[in-house]
């Protein structure tokens, strides 16, 4: 039995301090246990075995022991390359710190997480670095994002796999794009059609998220797009260090910058002059942006093109001797109680199908490498197939293509030989650079060779606008088109794609080539432009159409033109027949809207002049009761001398309330408000999307093709996205 006194002595005795040897042995044992429990297990993100430094020493020792390098001089020459090669392969074999044990190709973008500095330790202690709390992944999703991001990077730096011989060029590109992104098994599938007609399915990868996603990116960059990038730009994208901010993904769409039309004082600047515009490209581009979940860039919104996208039932001329009729109305402004709207509506004469002249059409098709996207050349081919089905048997079609250079694919062929034309379209394949200048010259030359007197002679250019061979400057192309338009051949431009669309160039050549521009983002839009609106697209009834409005300062204090910023003309250009302007096709409807401030309404934004005539007293002058005087100048398609149409605007043109305006007038005003809202203009800053919806819904009217219903959905999308609230 133990003596109680002995136990009390042991209890009260001082505990001896541990020796240095004991401390070292205990710490070493603890670290071995820690390594065994927390590091060696594969499920914790690493594999058991030697550390990197120990493995390097072991490998080097084995190389030397096996006498692979027998000569000391030779050893000195190759020692460093072997050491570097060995270290590189060990790094490749090092498992991912985020689990999975898969091999990862390291790049500068894959730098390890920042580590805490080593603390001073007692002799014999094992140095251990731990990831900081801010860099260590805390969720499986983030770990997955790292792996996906690295997989995408590996695909970008690795050589592209050779395309399968049985796949088309488009399908092959789509396959490389999908594989390059490291598609997971559960990703939604994208489908392409092979030459044999079978459908091939490829699965795109989800976009990297969180801190591993590129700023502003909606997905990993495709290999096809990387192939078109300059080498330096591609290298920067791949090798951006992890501790630096990721670069912004370049927006390669080229859009013309312009400022919103200002408010003018009628006393100081009473005359407004502009070229008519029937282009619709802006509306389609805005629609695509909203449906993809983003508010469109302000300069992509050209309000007049949005208004003129819709067909309106304006009153047309009674006979073909007058190519169009104008209707002017004055109505209250929905977004401003102190102003009014002057609504100018133009309707072109609608040529009956039996009276349509013969058409000589040259399809000028961009088949360069930049067109190798599903929404470019494949959509283009489907669109032109629709157009061919609309042509009459006596119409002729030629096809010119351009990539590295230009070439004629199909000589003038009667539309009656539809199969021959469609086969030529179907056989188009993308590849090479973009010699747009050479293509334009070849197309005009071919149009001249098969020119039809008193017929329709038109080049139809389909492209993403990515010209990079020959003349590519907008001013150079403008001069080229101005020269070619003297031949009497009109021009239509159809834009495709959205990752490098050169909208600015297409607008330039369309406006200076007696032509129009449209943007085709879906097959439904192709049907609208090339089938439903074929008459107005193909058959011109007037060219160089200009509008000039003179406001009466006795009735109007201020005015501003809504839209048409890129179509402005000098006052003296109106009577100059050498100045090019817009064109109107068969049955076309064109709308222009001014917001005017009646004199004495209290809505003036410009202070009156301190010196000079501050008021106008024209009581004894004729026409003093007019709001404005509208003049329209035009040329017939085959004539060089313009004609003039004039319309005085008086109180007889006025309606008492906005609701008394016609359905089409109210709907066009709703579209005008929407365009201004997207551009974040001051006039509609306090006018909400709910008010626009209210006007458009009440004025939807007959909507056989669903265009107005779709507009309502776009207003809802813009409201949900919070675009310029």
**100 against 577, higher pLDDT:** 577
Q: Is the pLDDT of residue 436 over 80?
A: no
CATH number of the domain to which 379 belongs: 3.40.50.410
Q: What is the pLDDT of residue 509?
A: 78
Given 472, 503, 532, which residue is the final one in a domain?
532
- Quick one: tokens of 560? 């501003």
pLDDT of residue 550: 97
User: Of the ranges 348-352, 521-525, 689-693, which one carries the lowest mean pLDDT score?
Assistant: 348-352
Domain boundary among 479, 500, 532: 532
Mean pLDDT of the chain: 75
Q: Is the pLDDT of residue 578 over 70?
A: yes
CA distance 668 to 312: 9
CA distances from 356 to 535, 584, 634 (A): 8, 15, 21
| pLDDT at 590 > cutoff 80 | yes
Distance of CA 592 to the CA centre of its chain: 26
pLDDT band at 79 (very low <50, low <70, confident <90, very high): low
Closest CA to 369 of 435, 421, 424, 423: 435
381 and 504 inside one domain = yes
Give CA angle at 215 (210, 219), nearest 5°: 75
Average pLDDT (96-101) is 43
Confirm whether 120 is domain-assigned. Answer: no
Identify the DSSP state of 702. -
What is the pLDDT, as a whole number, of residue 57? 57
Domain end, chosen from 238, 273, 302, is at 238
When divided into structural domains, the chain yields a total of: 4
- Position 256 in a domain: no
Residue 437: half-sphere exposure toward Cβ, Cα within 13 Å: 14
Query: What is the distance between the alpha carbons of residues 223 and 154, in angstroms, rounded to a whole number?
Result: 11
| Same domain for 167 and 282 | no
Beta-bridge partners for 508:
none
Q: Which of 138-152, 243-257, 627-641 is the most confident on average?
A: 627-641
- Of the chain, the percentage scoring pLDDT greater than 70 comes to 64
Percent composition of the chain: helix, strand, coil (DSSP 3-state, to 5): 40, 20, 45
- CA–CA gap between residue 670 and residue 697 (Å, rounded): 9
Same domain, 552 and 633: yes
Judge if 27 and 155 occupy the same domain: no
**Residue 669 is encoded by which pair of tokens?**
């005003």
Query: Does residue 270 fall inside a structural domain?
Result: yes
Q: Are 584 and 714 members of one domain?
A: yes
pLDDT at site 18: 73
Contacts (Cβ under 8 Å, ≥6 apart) of 1: none
pLDDT in tens, 176-188: 333 333 444 444 4
Name the residue with higher pLDDT: 158 or 290. 290
b/e string for 38-65 if b means 16 or more Cβ within 10 A? eeeeeeebbeeeeeeeebeeebeeebee
416 and 483 together in one domain: yes
* 254 against 28, higher pLDDT: 28
The pLDDT-based confidence of 657 (bands split at 50, 70, 90) is: very high
* More confident site: 107 or 571: 571
| pLDDT band per the 50, 70, 90 thresholds, residue 473 | low
Residue 563 has pLDDT above 80, yes or no: yes
Quote the CA–CA distance of 289 and 302 in Å, as a whole number. Answer: 14
Work out the average pLDDT over 549-574. Answer: 96
Instruction: For residue 406, report the phi and psi dihedrals to the nearest 5 degrees.
Output: -105, 150
d(CA 348, CA 350): 6
Contact between 635 and 669 under an 8 Å Cβ cutoff? The reply is: no
Q: Which of 675, 298, 281, 287 is nearest to 502 (CA)?
A: 281
Please check whether residues 526 and 655 belong to one and the same domain. Answer: no
Q: pLDDT tens, 488-538?
A: 888 889 999 877 777 877 787 777 777 788 999 999 999 999 998 888 888
Among residues 406, 644, 364, the alpha carbon closest in space to that of 506 is found at: 364
Residue 77 in domain: no
Phi, psi of 328 (to 5 degrees): -120, 135
d(CA 472, CA 468): 6
Residues 438 and 481 in one domain: yes
Q: Which two tokens stand for residue 235?
A: 């290298």
pLDDT digits (tens, 9 = 90+) for 240-258: 444 444 444 455 677 778 9
Does one domain contain both 546 and 682?
A: yes
| pLDDT reported for residue 369 | 87
Note the pLDDT of residue 35. 65
Please give the pLDDT value at position 606.
86
516, with CB counted inside 10 A (0-12, 13-18, 19+), is buried
CB 202 within 8 A of CB 161: no
In a domain, 113, yes or no: no
Q: What is the pLDDT of residue 22?
A: 77
Q: How many residues does the chain have?
A: 725
| Within-domain flag for 494 | yes
Highest mean pLDDT among 5-19, 464-478, 636-650: 636-650
**∠ Cα 589 595 623 (to 5°):** 90
Residue 568 lies in a domain: yes
Domain membership flag for residue 680: yes
The answer to whether 273 and 576 have CB atoms below 8 angstroms apart is no
Same domain, 278 and 406: no
Could you tell me the CATH number of the domain that includes residue 686?
2.60.40.1230
Radius of gyration of the chain (CA): 36
Identify which has the larger pLDDT, 670 or 97: 670
Q: Please identify which residue in the block is written with the tokens 């809202």.
A: 677
Q: What angle do CA 678, 681, 683 make, to 5 degrees?
A: 120
Query: Edge to edge, what strands does the sheet with 324-333 contain?
Result: 264-265, 556-562, 589-598, 336-348, 324-333
**Domain assignment of residue 405, given as a range:** 358-512+520-532
Please state, for a pLDDT cut of 90, what percent of the chain lies above it: 43
Residues 563, 459 share a domain: no
Regarding whether 591 and 674 lie in a shared domain, the answer is yes
């Amino acid at each position: 039995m133990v003596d109680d006194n002995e136990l009390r002595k042991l209890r009260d005795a001082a505990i001896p301090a541990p020796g240095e040897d004991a401390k070292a042995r205990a710490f070493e044992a603890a670290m071995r246990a820690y390594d065994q429990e927390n590091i060696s297990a594969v499920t914790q993100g690493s594999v058991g075995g030697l550390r990197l430094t120990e493995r390097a020493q072991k490998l080097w020792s084995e190389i030397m022991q096996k006498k692979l390098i027998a000569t000391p001089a030779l050893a000195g020459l190759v020692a460093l390359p072997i050491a570097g090669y060995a270290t590189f392969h060990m790094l490749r074999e090092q498992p991912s710190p985020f689990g999975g044990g898969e091999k990862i190709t390291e790049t500068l973008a894959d730098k390890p997480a920042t580590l805490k500095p080593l603390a001073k330790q007692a002799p014999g202690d094992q140095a251990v670095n731990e990831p900081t709390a801010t860099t260590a992944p805390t969720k499986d999703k983030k770990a997955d994002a790292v792996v996906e991001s690295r997989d995408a990077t590996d695909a970008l730096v690795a050589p592209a796999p050779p395309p399968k011989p049985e796949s088309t060029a488009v399908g092959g590109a789509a396959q490389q794009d999908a594989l390059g992104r490291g598609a997971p098994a559960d990703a939604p599938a994208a489908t392409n059609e092979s030459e044999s007609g079978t459908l091939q399915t490829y699965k795109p990868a989800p976009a990297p998220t969180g801190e591993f996603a590129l700023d502003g990116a909606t997905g990993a960059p495709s290999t096809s797009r990387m192939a078109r990038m300059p080498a330096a730009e591609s290298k920067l994208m791949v090798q951006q260090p992890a501790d630096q901010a990721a670069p912004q993904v370049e927006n390669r769409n080229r859009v013309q910058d312009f400022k919103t039309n200002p408010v003018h004082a009628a006393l100081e600047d009473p005359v407004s002059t502009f070229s008519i515009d029937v282009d619709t490209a802006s509306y389609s581009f805005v629609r695509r942006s909203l449906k993809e979940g983003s508010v469109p860039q302000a300069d992509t919104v050209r309000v007049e093109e949005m208004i003129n996208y819709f067909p309106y039932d304006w009153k047309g001329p009674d006979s073909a001797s007058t190519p169009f009729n104008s209707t002017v109305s004055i109505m209250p402004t929905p977004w401003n109680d102190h102003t009014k709207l002057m609504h100018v509506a133009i309707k072109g004469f609608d040529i009956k199908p039996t009276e349509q002249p013969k058409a000589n059409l040259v399809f000028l098709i961009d088949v360069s490498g930049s067109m190798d996207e599903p929404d470019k050349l494949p959509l283009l081919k489907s669109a032109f197939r629709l157009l061919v089905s609309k042509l009459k048997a006596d119409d002729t079609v030629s096809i010119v293509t351009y990539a590295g250079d230009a070439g004629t694919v199909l000589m003038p062929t009667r539309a009656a030989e539809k199969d021959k034309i469609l086969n030529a379209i179907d056989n188009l394949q993308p590849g090479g650079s973009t010699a747009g200048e050479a293509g334009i010259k070849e197309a005009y030359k071919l149009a001249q060779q098969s020119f039809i007197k008193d017929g329709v002679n038109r080049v139809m250019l389909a492209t993403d606008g990515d010209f990079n061979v020959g003349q590519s400057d907008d001013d150079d192309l403008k001069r080229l088109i101005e020269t070619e338009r003297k031949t009497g051949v009109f021009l239509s431009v159809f834009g495709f794609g959205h990752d490098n669309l050169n909208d600015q160039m297409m607008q330039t050549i369309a406006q200076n080539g007696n032509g129009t521009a449209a943007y085709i983002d879906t097959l439904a839009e192709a049907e609208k432009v090339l089938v439903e609106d074929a008459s107005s697209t193909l058959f011109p009834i007037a060219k160089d159409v200009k509008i000039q409005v003179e406001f009466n300062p006795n009735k109007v204090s201020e005015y501003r033109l809504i839209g048409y910023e890129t179509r402005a003309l000098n006052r003296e250009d109106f009577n100059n027949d050498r100045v090019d302007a817009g064109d109107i096709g068969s049955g076309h409807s064109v709308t222009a809207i001014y917001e005017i401030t009646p004199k004495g309404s209290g809505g003036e934004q410009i202070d009156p002049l301190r010196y000079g005539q501050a008021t106008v007293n024209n009581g004894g002058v004729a026409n003093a009761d007019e709001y404005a005087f509208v003049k329209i100048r035009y040329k017939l398609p085959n004539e060089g001398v313009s004609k003039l149409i004039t319309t005085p605007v008086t109180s007889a043109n006025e309606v008492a309330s906005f609701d008394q305006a016609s359905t089409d007038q109210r709907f066009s005003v709703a579209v005008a408000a929407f365009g201004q809202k997207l551009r974040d203009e001051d006039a509609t800053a306090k006018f909400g999307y709910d008010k626009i919806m209210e006007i458009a819904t009440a004025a939807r009217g007959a909507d056989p093709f669903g265009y107005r219903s779709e507009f309502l959905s776009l207003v809802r999308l813009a409201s949900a996205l919070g675009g310029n609230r």
